Amino acid sequence: MTTSEHYLDQSATTRPSETALRALNEAPWGNPSSVHRIGLEAAAALKEARAALGKTLGMARLPKDRLIFTSCGTESNNIALLGTAAAKKRDPDNPGTILLSAGEHPSLENPAQLLEKRGYRVIRIPTAGGLLDLDFLRDALENAASPVIFAGFMLVNNETGAVYDVKAAASLVRAKFPDAVIHCDAVQGYLKLKKNRFSPASLGVDTMTLSAHKVHAVRGAGALYMSENVIRRKNIVPVMPGGGQEWGVRSGTENLPAIASFAAAALEGYSELDARLEKTAALRAVLEEGIGRLAEECPGLGLNVPAGEMQPGIASVRLPAIRSETMLNYLSGRGVYVSAGSACSAAAKKKSAALTAFGLRDDEADSVIRVSFDHTNTEEDIRAFLEGLGEGVRSLQRKR
């Protein structure tokens, strides 16, 4: 990155911190399953990384609860859902009900669609305006045609920044279906909200997904938290049998360098969290003020603001009848890097389910860009974006 470049796509991925890179380089290279000295050294480092991540999740009972290392957030979400579906003998004609917030990340929504084809009933809880519809959820729980086996609620929507009331949703599900696995994809909330807002205990969930590369570690590591409750009841079984690493839940030699990088970045993020959030909130204020000013001269421009709480580092910007990709390319030409919806749905050129669930029409969802930033950004980045956006709107609208 040169000084004239402005990376505002932190929700897609983040640049590894110096601390994370050092941990990557210094991680023991041995196989943690080997029982000789080299292996034992690796096993100790793995244990240390697990404890470090546990600390950031407020996990005091690590031996009973478990943190499983995976390769990424996508894998953690898949293990949670597909592992739950596979865990118990199911009636093939009516195998069970799965609840999901509408507009979940494809790494949870797509495996749910797979199960839907196999006869599971999937009910999506509306998230219009960025609010998880708890009345709809109550109704769905009351009228479920088959037992709810899994309920997945993301903590922060990756395209709108809306923070969902996972705690309230989890307690409703728990009261009616105590055997259900209650899952939270916390990828975009972990180390981006206040400390007590992303721990499994404070949310009342059984499983939780994290991803290393969203928190300034390298790619190649993710984590799945599993509660004692889930483990004791064998509510999740392995979907990828193999050598039995990670208590058999995720076989495959652990990627210790990436895991060590993850743990180091997580500890760093945890210790600096308050200052990071303060900086992000200040950048948000600059962005909102700037968009407000631009909106006065460019009707149709604005923010899709969640009605409830939001993760301040994600802003969904509505454009006045300019396609997202056109604006993205324009800004990219000026060294300002944002995304159209989320990076994955943009690559798949699919309509954004998250934006539709938020309440946007297809044509509106086609004219949205996501700007995501954090403590590593500067006011200059936000100003460069605002300037590019303003000029882009004027020039691209003229060309139409």
Catalytic option among 72, 184, 298, 344:
344
By CB under 6 A, is residue 74 in contact with ligand PLP? Answer: yes
CA-CA distance, 71 to 73, in Å (whole number)?
Answer: 7
By CB under 6 A, is residue 73 in contact with ligand PLP? Answer: yes
In the residue annotation, 184 being an active-site residue is answered as no
* Per-residue binder mask for ligand PLP (CB under 6 A), 160-199, x = binder: -------------------------x-xx-----------
Beta strands 121-125; 181-185: pairing state: unpaired
Measure CA 29 to chain center: 29
* Per-residue binder mask for ligand PLP (CB under 6 A), 143-162, x = binder: -----------x---x----
By CB under 6 A, is residue 10 in contact with ligand PLP? Answer: no
CA-CA distance, 11 to 201, in Å (whole number)?
Answer: 25
Residue 237: exposure state from Cβ atoms within 10 A (0-12, 13-18, ≥19): middle
Q: Please state the closest distance from residue 221 (CB atom) to ligand PLP, in A.
A: 9
* Per-residue binder mask for ligand PLP (CB under 6 A), 263-302, x = binder: ----------------------------------------
Count Cβ atoms below 10 Å from residue 163 Cβ, excluding itself.
Answer: 25
Binding residues for ligand PLP, rule CB under 6 A, total: 14
Smaller CB separation from ligand PLP, 342 or 367:
342
Smaller CB separation from ligand PLP, 153 or 177:
153
Closest CA to 115 of 150, 142, 155: 150
- Using CB under 6 A as the binding rule, the residues of this chain from 202 to 221 that contact ligand PLP are 211, 213
Smaller CB separation from ligand PLP, 276 or 370:
370
Q: How far is CA 332 from CA 7, 78, 160, 336, 394, in A?
A: 10, 33, 21, 5, 16
Q: How far is CA 202 from CA 13, 66, 194, 211, 312, in A?
A: 26, 16, 12, 19, 20
Q: Which residues fall within 8 angstroms of residue 296, CB to CB, at 6 or more apart?
A: none
Q: Please state the closest distance from residue 373 (CB atom) to ligand PLP, in A.
A: 15
- Range list of H helices, 298-340: 324-333
* Per-residue binder mask for ligand PLP (CB under 6 A), 106-145, x = binder: -x--------------------------------------
CA-CA distance, 232 to 300, in Å (whole number)?
Answer: 53
Q: Which residues bind ligand PLP (CB under 6 A)?
A: 72-74, 105, 107, 154, 158, 185, 187-188, 211, 213, 222, 342
Active site residues: 344
